[in-house]
A and B are shown apart, each in its own frame.
Chain A
Amino acid sequence: MSGRIVIAGTGAVSSAGWGVRALIDALESGEAAPVSNLERGEVHTPVRRVPENAAGVPKSARLRRTSPVSKFAAAAAIEAIGPERLAQIAAGEWRVGVIYTLLNGCVNYSNRFFGEVLADPSVASPIVFPETVFNAPASHLAAMLGSVSPNDTLLGDNAEFFTGLEVAAEWIARGDVDGCVVVGAEELDWLSAEALRFYSRDSVPSEGAGALYLEAGEGTVKLLHVPDAVPFSQEMDRSLAALRLRETLAPKDEPGTLLVDGRCGIGRVDRAERTAWENWSGPRLSPRAITGEALGASAAFQCVAAVEAIRAGRMDQAIAFTLGGNEQAAGARFGR
């Protein structure tokens, strides 16, 4: 990678609000987004929702019938790519790849469609079904951009965003695309919100999208290193995987480097990550504790925060690190 890939833009839609500024303000103030209840009969699930903002949704015919995840992904990607490149893409002068990473995806429409199927399959909606497919948000995004370049949807645990960065760097290095937007996006629904709480009653499910736009060349913030993720296995449990990746990303303490970690503020869940980084003396940010658990979007928020700290001149280098739930430890290093 050695400095060839730069982060040319960031985008975010989170429980803190629409746009990167809202996310960064929340992280800097340390004020968590408000909690509301997702009601289903007698089941009440506390969640941190993305605030309503119809004006924040990009205007596109493709987005009219989509569920929130596609709207979040589109808004974050548009913000990350920026108006100049958007015009070039629309004019066919710039080839942009789209990579969408997720754990859960279009659960609202899956819930709705399957409910219709169980009630009466003969009248289940043909409009809703295609929106249940995992790659629907990436498809809408590509269509909205007018991009016919490669477009991949990657499934994984909440550390999958880093695989997206790795694939984007591969595409750019090979010349398959001129730039690539990587988006991690999720939406809230009672199905997944209740499921997440089975892991911990203290977990607060959330939603949103984070995006990085990558290009080759020179720029303020470079993608310095995306090591291979460390997969969990019989010989490599979460704790060992966390330690192994930490050794790869930052074998020594670096007081001048920002660590944007994946801790959520729940002791049991954070234990392995806390142990792996216990001798870290540099500054730290923990976006999950502020935004809530946004699954595939959370690691994207971490990367946005890492990049913005460098872009704002506060740090020269930053590391984003996520210990996923059931697949991998993954991370990336960004720098000037």
Chain B
Amino acid sequence: MTRISPGSSIGQRDWNRMDRGTRLAWWAAREALESAGLKGGLMPIVVGTSAAAMPIGEDYYKRAMETPGRRAGQLLRTETYQVQRQMTAMARHLGVAGPLRIISNACASGANAIGHAFHLVRSGKAERVLAGGYDALCQLVFAGFDALQALSPSGVPRPFDAARDGLALGEGAGFVVVESVAAARARGARVMAEILGYGAATDIHHLTQPHPEGDAALSTMAAACRMAGVSPEKIDYVNSHGTGTPLNDVAEGRAIQRWAGESVAGVKVSSTKSAIGHLLGGAGAVEAVICLMAMEGQWLPASLNVREADPVCSFELIREPRDAKVRTVLTNSFGFGGANATLIFRKEDKA
């Protein structure tokens, strides 16, 4: 990520000023636009991030401590630390012009961003929206999760394993173009899926720990299903938040049990964080993209590394990827501060 991508219109100076997270976001956003058959244009951008350009902030801090009062380079660091400055630059390089919303709801940010985009289109405020989430690794966040003893000492995340010992941090970005069906059809665009529902709620149990019974998760899953007009039996796959921490997985498992009721045994669940790690502000958006891929390819992603499933898994935990009929999917995202979000997608029927 230190060299400019071939064919990019970004100059070396602008590339150097982008933080790593914005570079990841730019890659994913560009791919989303290409996939949608768009070369930029007028549309709002809704982005989720948690760490934002923290590595630049870290650099600013170190230099301010080493040489107090010295100005050289610090104004540029101050400016490029600001996420809205980075996202404005990204929009310019994508050829996208429109209002910018940056949501920072910790690890639910990416899902919230897609949810906001969904509502902007649904309400008629926008015809199409570029939406997604991203985060890159940085020292402060890595040390923070380490201080909380949330990182897996084994280095192997095992969401929903009875002996899971924590999460593995990852980095990345996911973007989608959310567009009205009418607008997409009018320009002959390929429609990957329809967003049927979005639910958002706040878990007020604790700043970093979920309610043990998953109250807010249940609330967002139920709200998204109500909006979508689907019952749990109609959901072919649940991409769980599934961090691999002891508290998260059992709370989410309880929420799934309560949401599905007597149908829980038929609910297919996995956590793709077992394969790619926890992407923080990017997680919800990347996991939404994984759901789209699952619907596109008609397969179920797996929870890797599970040796013995936790007793909370009264649902079917998918432990190996496999072909399946996948028409309607639900994805959960939860974050520090109690930010909870659920999205439901449905593969469009072929005419």
Contact = CB atoms under 8 A, between A and B. Distances in A.
B78 interface: yes
A204 to B, nearest CB: 17
The prevalent SS among residues of A at the interface is mixed
Given A114-B61, A132-B140, A43 B68 contact: yes
Contacts of B84: 103, 155-157, 160, 324, 326-328
Interface string A105-121: 00000110111011001
Contacts of A114: 58, 61, 139-140
Given A41-B68, A327-B100, A124 B219 contact: no
Contacts of A121: 143, 146-147
Contacts of A325: 82
A113 B200 contact: no
Contact of A174 (B123, B140, B203, B339): B123
A191 interface: yes
B103 A152 contact: yes
Nearest to B98: A231
A134 B104 contact: yes
Interface in B80-106: 82-85, 88, 91-92, 97-106
Interface stretch (A8-16, A48-56, A194-202, A208-216): A194-202
B18 interface: no
A157 B84 CA distance: 7
Given A155-B104, A198-B74, A199-B75, A124 B85 contact: no
Contacts of B337: 130, 133, 135-136, 138-139, 151, 153
B16 interface: no
B109 to A, nearest CB: 9
A333 B219 CA distance: 35
B112 interface: yes
Contacts, number: 185
A324 B99 CA distance: 13
B14 to A, nearest CB: 11
A232 interface: yes
A138 to B, nearest CB: 7
A224 B258 CA distance: 43
A174 B119 contact: yes
B148 A126 contact: yes
B68 A40 contact: yes
Contacts of B143: 113, 117, 121, 124, 129
A286 interface: no
A173 B149 CA distance: 42
A149 B140 contact: no
Given A135-B336, A138-B337, A151 B102 contact: no
A135 B112 CA distance: 13
A234 B92 contact: yes
Contact of A328 (B79, B100, B146): B100
Contacts of B335: 135
B284 interface: no
A331 to B, nearest CB: 13
A198 B71 contact: yes
Interface string A71-112: 000000000000000000000000000100001000000110
Contact of B204 (A113, A143, A155, A327): A143
Contacts of B102: 154-156
A281 interface: no
Contacts of B99: 163, 228-229, 231, 328
Interface of A: 40-43, 62, 98, 103, 110-111, 113-115, 117-118, 121, 124-126, 129-136, 138-140, 142-143, 146-157, 160, 163, 167, 170, 174, 191, 194-196, 198-199, 228-229, 231-236, 324-328
Given A130-B337, A153-B337, A233-B97, 14 more contacts: A41-B68, A43-B69, A103-B84, A117-B140, A117-B143, A136-B337, A148-B219, A152-B105, A155-B102, A157-B85, A229-B99, A234-B92, A324-B84, A328-B84
Interface of B: 49-50, 52, 57-58, 60-62, 64-65, 68-69, 71, 74-75, 78-79, 82-85, 88, 91-92, 97-106, 112, 116, 119, 123, 125, 139-140, 143-149, 200-204, 207-208, 215-216, 219, 335-339
